Structure 1
Amino acid sequence: MNKILLFAGLQEKAGQAEVELNAVNKSIAEIKSMLKESYQMEEIDTSMAAVNEEYANGDFVVKEGDTIAFIPPVSGG
């Protein structure tokens, strides 16, 4: 199992800051797709991903015990 951390609007969509998901041997792109379908998170497509606190691209494959974070774009004024 893997811990998935969600921030900002993604957290609001899921109704929780983190979810447990069996993401072993799945790419970041596949995980985004799973979350998008489960929680109707359209904005996850533009989110950055980090695995174990290091940025990862969509091709990165997750291993057992990895922690994945999704960080949506931030804007402010």
Structure 2
Amino acid sequence: MIDVLYFAWVRERIGMPKERIETSATTVAELVEELRGREERYDAAFADLSALRVAVDQQLTDFDAALDGAREVAFFPPMTGG
């Protein structure tokens, strides 16, 4: 089981802040493909990966990052300074 967290407009499109899922994905990219196949709202949220950032166990990483042993994956838009 892995906790998947959604922030900002990703949360708005999917309609929930987090969920716990069972996955066979070995990378973040595989997890995204699994999620996109669930429902249209997931497909819409993950349609443009260049507009998203990802963290695995609270460490900013890339979509090709391994999920081996990961407990949490978070998706969010890029941060802007100010």
Q: What is the TM-score normalised by the length of structure 1?
A: 0.77
Residue 61 of structure 1: CA displacement?
1.3
Residue 31 of structure 1: CA displacement?
1.2
Structure 1 runs not aligned, ≥5 long:
none
**Correspondence for 1:61:** 66
Structure 2 counterparts to residues 1-77 of structure 1, below 5 A: 1-23=1-23, 25-38=25-38, 39-40=42-43, 41=45, 42-43=47-48, 45-46=49-50, 47-64=52-69, 66-74=71-79
Kindly tell me the number of residue pairs found equivalent between the two proteins.
Answer: 76
Q: Give yes or no for contact 1:52–1:66 (8 Å, CA) kept in 2.
A: yes
Q: Superposition RMSD on alpha carbons, in Å?
A: 2.3
Residue 65 of structure 1: CA displacement?
5.1
Q: Percent identity?
A: 24
Q: What is the TM-score normalised by the length of structure 2?
A: 0.73
1:5-48 Cα distance to aligned partner (Å, 9 max, x none): 001111011110001122355201111222233222224x1211
Residue 63 of structure 1: CA displacement?
2.9
SS of equivalent residue, structure 1 residue 58: coil
Q: Give yes or no for contact 2:25–2:31 (8 Å, CA) kept in 1.
A: no
Q: Runs in 1 of length 4+ with deviation above 3 angstroms?
A: none
